[in-house]
Homo-oligomer: A and B are copies of this chain.
Amino acid sequence: MSGKEIRRSMPLFPIGTVMQLTELTARQIRYYEEHELISPARTDGNRRLFSLVDIDRLLEIKDLIDQGINMAGIKQLLLVKEQQANVIQQQAEKAKQELTDDQLRNLLRQELQQAGRFNRSSLRQGDMSRFFH
């Protein structure tokens, strides 16, 4: 159920590693946190610790910045996407129970198209996937 998400949201990386992975400066990363685009965990000693989810999100943010969107816009976009993702996941779960495989495939395809219409970066899984497995 939530096992996967717990893992992907496990705080693991210090800001230095995240800088390399995302090619953002520490200043930028902290600024985005200040504007609540991300909420990295903290160590006992107050150092930031980022999860894979955080990093995916930062890569998305970078992408949106490159598209000229400002903090407020990005915040909204990320919010909407989150909601969409939730809805879609719920639907998928319902679908799994109620639909045949064939119908399910169809539904997912539709959702993917719909998502593609709205955002450049995918809903499913952030770009971090290129770093692992």
Contact = CB atoms under 8 A, between A and B. Distances in A.
A44 to B, nearest CB: 10
A8 B133 CA distance: 7
Contacts of A132: 7-8, 52, 132-133
Nearest to A6: B131
A123 B12 CA distance: 25
Interface string A27-71: 000000000000000010000010010000000000000000000
Contacts of A12: 12-13, 17, 21
A32 to B, nearest CB: 20
A131 B10 contact: yes
A87 B131 CA distance: 25
Contact of A133 (B4, B13, B130): B4
B7 A133 contact: yes
A17 B16 CA distance: 13
Nearest to A129: B133
6 contacts: A4-B133, A7-B130, A7-B131, A7-B133, A14-B17, A52-B132
Interface of A: 4, 7-8, 10, 12-14, 16-17, 21, 43, 49, 52, 130-133
